[in-house]
Structure 1
């Protein structure tokens, strides 16, 4: 994909207009996102939906344990079903999303979650909930997560203007990491206060609130042009070739796939490390995860400022490199509980801060360099690799933990994180000083 050379200055990028990019119009001054009503509704919906989903993802296996005494194998089946859609349906979903209005797909995803979680509530009331129902809920939630993630990424550039993308992604990335850390902590507390099925059923509130926020957005999304009908698999192949040929995107895909593989391996054994190896309580585990959420908020506020000062390439390499190096603290954690807790809190706060800085700038970069007409299927192609690695990571973490030990596995995962960061540090991305202009075909 051709890009102008030399790249524009950072100040030019942040003040340039993209006539079709946002709801405010090319001639108007950019609106502060704090006064951008439609973005605030979208941000609210994304946050509450992701928070509720994270609660449900933790409580789903807990319900299987408490109600049906599920084995480790059965829990593995639930997790595999939940993440399988990223491997099986993401590419097809990307083509569908590019042919549809993005807000409509977001609404479909939320309706699917409402139906799945509402069914849990109904079955719980009549005492008819069975283990296979939880398998079905995991499958529906997984498909809805694919639709929600890909269409949300594709929708944002049509809702706000080009020079607002970094601000918008900073807020969204903060919400993502906060909900990833805070959702499971909240779910664990709620299960201690009520039954797991009750908490799972109550999670339906979040997609309902998100759907209401989507309906409240006034901006009319321009429907995609309807080109001559093309073969779906031809469009999928086109998106994969686009990723493979782009000198930046192919590095990002490899890095994210490796990172997510070891992230899920680490996440799988983290509770065992904290509860069994370190002898801490589940409440302290929740506190540790909350430190990552605080770090994410910090990173979201720093992402734009650091990109302007250092350039996006350096910030991405610095964010991912620092977050990966911080992982080394985890397997080294030991000693009295106060010391071990201090090490964990420091590690998760630093990692959350730097990872959010990197992710925010990467999200903005992708939205700027991928042509708008194909952003859905290109992002879907990237997600197939990057998120599709997660179920494999869960299996890897469980296997390594049982073969070489919990702490030893954490050394392996920390090494994997560092290798993924080194890959970016040696890539052309690290050399970028400014965000590139959009492709000519946009």
Structure 2
């Protein structure tokens, strides 16, 4: 892959975009909590707005994307995200920025992200050979983790120097760079023939049947969906937990995320070695046990405020490493077994199930945080994460070593 200039072009653009997105993921919550004084419920609304699109348009997006050139969809999505985010510093500079502006921008960016992410995971088979997909996914995931390491630290520094709204402009620039890189990338995707199309609802149903008709994929989706619902309960309230409950400054919050994300880079690097050692199939329940159990360290930090910083770093490190092992393995498996004509719908169906629960969870987090308090709500999320592993831990994965191919 290091000699594949076409892949490197796309990869470099994604590296910049991922770095920028990490800056914004820190800047927008800081903007809401510290500059606009957002309540727990408002933070819940903001979290829900950011991922609502996966629930609302996630399924039809997959059917539409299967009819379009995926690289072109990604270019337009980058352009929309850049323009929407650029509105926030302008509104702040004009002195009229309010919470509803954040909700609106989050919704627009969320819709564009649905189209981008589904296309992104469906594009790899048209860029590289089948034998290279695991390596390509590993490199992209490693880059994502490097962005997780540098992005929050850069974001925290920028927020301290130029304020959160201006820091968002860095993300605008990286999305523009990603669009340019995609314009320069070439793929060998063949558009679907016009006679290979059915009504949208029928095509959506075909994608859902493909996902839930595979018993291994069905268990993976159930674990991922329950984990995402439960982790969103915790992470929606994380800015309030860190900035108000624990008294962290934005820079310290960014450092926690960055140090924890080193685990993601380690996980991406270690995944091929772990898979060779224990087998592709067993890597899934092993990683699920690890990232679900370690979730309990997050609310536990509230009980030990003097060591909260190292506890949070350990939690983020282990979770990032094992989530990467899980994601690289299961994403490569589903790309490998899915026919090209179904890739968009397969990814959209899975995203609908595992990301569509997140806006509901974010709203629940806001309500639980208001009713019970931030820390009890985060404990509920941690317990749910522990339970999420059951679907892949109790199942056929232990009896297998390699996951089946498309021909099995």
Taking structure 1 as the reference length, what is the TM-score of the superposition? 0.84
| TM-aligned CA distance change 1:380 to 1:429, over 3 Å | farther
* Alignment-derived partner of residue 356 in structure 1: 324
Instruction: Summarize deviations over 1:234-284 as a string: whole Å, max 9, x none.
Output: 111111122222111211111111100111111123334344444444433
Q: Which residue of 1 aligns with 2:207?
A: 239
Q: Residues 398-418 of structure 1: CA distance to partner in whole angstroms, max 9, x if unpaired?
A: 333344444433332222112
Map of 2:387 onto structure 1: 419
Q: Specify the alignment match of 1:264 in structure 2.
A: 232
Counterpart in the other structure of 2:72: 104
Change (3 A) 1:429 1:67: same
Q: Matched residue of 1:208: which SS?
A: helix
CA contact under 8 A between 2:126 and 2:189: conserved in structure 1?
yes
Asked if structure 1 preserves the Cα contact closer than 8 Å seen for 2:43 and 2:237, the reply is no
Query: Superposition pairs for residues 5-404 of structure 1, below 5 Å?
Result: 33-64=1-32, 71-120=39-88, 132-180=100-148, 182-333=150-301, 334-335=303-304, 337=306, 339-404=307-372
CA distance in 2, matches of 1:267, 1:419: 17
Name the CA shift for 1:146/1:305 in 2 (closer, same or farther; >3 Å).
Answer: same
Deviation at 1:192, TM superposition (A): 2.0
| Structure 1 residue ranges without an equivalent (≥5) | 1-32
**Structure 1 residues 162, 285: closer, same or farther in 2, change over 3 A?**
same
- Give the Cα–Cα distance (whole angstroms) in 1 for the partners of residues 2 and 238 of structure 2: 37
Higher CA-based Rg:
1
Unmatched tracts of structure 2, length 5 or more: none
Contact 1:328 1:411 in 2 (8 A): yes
TM-score when normalising by structure 2: 0.90
Higher mean C-alpha deviation, range 44-53 or range 259-268: 44-53
Listed one character per residue, the Cα deviations across residues 364-399 of structure 1 (whole Å, up to 9, x for unaligned) are: 011011211111011101101101111222223333
Deviation at 1:84, TM superposition (A): 1.2
Is contact 1:314–1:430 with CA below 8 Å preserved after alignment? yes
**Separation in 2 of the partners of 1:364 and 1:372?**
14
CA distance in 2, matches of 1:372, 1:296: 29
